[in-house]
């Protein structure tokens, strides 16, 4: 089986297929993929929500690429598309998915924003993990998870294969982070697990965490998880 066929299996698993509807807020999750900012802006301009929270400091990839936070970069993009600055809120501290939601929730409460429902915009291969983390950290809010409407094959052609390392790592986190209490449980079919293992063996292992039960790793697992969560 070709790599793209294996990647497609994980891509399909990560999709939530939520239907868009008007919500109180859009939360754009920081990433190296600036289409998150583009999609968030389009949703705002189409009337799906009247405010945007861009959440992101500098993550495991963007700290090497940018000299401004993900939230700041995304805000500039949104404003260039016509989103008013006063309708954009910035959360500039988070470096992982869990903190995206923890700190966004803190911002909502601090600013006394009247928000009960959110559209979370993320990378197209990260919907299910974003959903699992949101439901653990912000369970009192309604959520729709949304991303760029693009096929796995087209995304691969456009972006190369670096992002596949993130996708493969996120499959591992779907199980590991549930066990840590950091996101809700999401069933993982055997086909997905088998495909994940094949891709790891093929070298898509840049963001794989060591087994927390391996000898010599017990002291470091929490630190490592927190860095890459």
The angle formed by the CA atoms of residues 99, 152 and 156, to the nearest 5 degrees, is 90
Give every strand in the sheet of 25-29, ordered side by side: 88-91, 52-55, 25-29, 117-121, 142-146
210 Cβ contact list (under 8 Å, min separation 6): 217, 220, 221, 224
Q: Each residue of 168-211: pLDDT tens digit?
A: 999 999 999 999 999 999 999 999 999 999 999 999 999 898 76
Report the run of H or E that residue 146 belongs to, with start and end: strand 142-146
- Whether the predicted pLDDT of 74 surpasses 80: yes
Closest listed residue to residue 170, CA positions, set 151, 188, 146, 147: 188
State residue 211's pLDDT score.
Answer: 61
Across the range 131-147, mean pLDDT stands at 98
| Spatial distance between the Cα atoms of 168 and 173, rounded to a whole number of angstroms | 9
Across the range 115-141, mean pLDDT stands at 97
68 Cβ contact list (under 8 Å, min separation 6): none
State residue 33's pLDDT score.
Answer: 86
| C-alpha dihedral sign at 5, 35, 160, 227 | negative
State residue 217's pLDDT score.
Answer: 39
State residue 60's pLDDT score.
Answer: 63
Closest listed residue to residue 109, CA positions, set 25, 22, 20: 25
The model's confidence at residue 229, banded by pLDDT at 50, 70 and 90, is: very low
State residue 47's pLDDT score.
Answer: 98
Across the range 22-27, mean pLDDT stands at 98
CA distances from 104 to 18, 52, 54, 100, 140 (A): 21, 11, 9, 6, 14
> Residue 65 has which token pair?
């690429």
| Spatial distance between the Cα atoms of 61 and 78, rounded to a whole number of angstroms | 21
Across the range 94-99, mean pLDDT stands at 90
Average pLDDT, the chain: 90
The model's confidence at residue 215, banded by pLDDT at 50, 70 and 90, is: very low
| Spatial distance between the Cα atoms of 103 and 111, rounded to a whole number of angstroms | 12
The model's confidence at residue 10, banded by pLDDT at 50, 70 and 90, is: very high
Across the range 45-61, mean pLDDT stands at 89
Domains along the chain? Answer: 3-10+152-215 (no CATH), 16-146 (3.40.50.620)
């Amino acid at each position: 089986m070709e790599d793209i066929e294996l990647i497609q299996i994980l891509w399909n698993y990560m999709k939530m297929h939520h239907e868009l509807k008007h919500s109180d807020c859009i939360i754009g999750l920081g990433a190296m993929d600036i289409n998150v900012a583009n999609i968030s802006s389009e949703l705002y301009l189409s009337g799906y929500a009247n405010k945007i929270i861009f959440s992101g400091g500098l993550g495991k990839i963007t700290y090497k690429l940018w000299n401004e936070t993900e939230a700041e970069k995304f805000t500039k993009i949104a404003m260039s598309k016509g989103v008013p600055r006063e309708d954009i809120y910035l959360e500039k501290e988070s470096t992982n998915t869990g903190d995206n939601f923890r700190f966004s929730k803190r911002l909502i409460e601090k600013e006394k924003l009247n928000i009960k429902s959110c559209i979370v915009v993320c990378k197209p291969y990260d919907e299910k993990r974003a959903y699992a983390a949101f439901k653990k950290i912000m369970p009192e809010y309604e959520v729709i998870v949304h991303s760029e409407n693009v096929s796995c094959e087209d995304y691969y052609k456009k972006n190369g294969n670096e992002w596949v390392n993130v996708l493969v790592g996120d499959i591992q986190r779907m199980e590991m982070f549930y066990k840590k209490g950091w996101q809700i449980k999401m069933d993982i079919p055997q086909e997905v697990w088998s495909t994940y293992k094949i891709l790891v063996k093929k070298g898509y292992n840049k963001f794989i965490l060591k087994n927390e039960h391996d000898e010599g790793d017990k002291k470091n697992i929490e630190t490592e998880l927190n860095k890459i969560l």
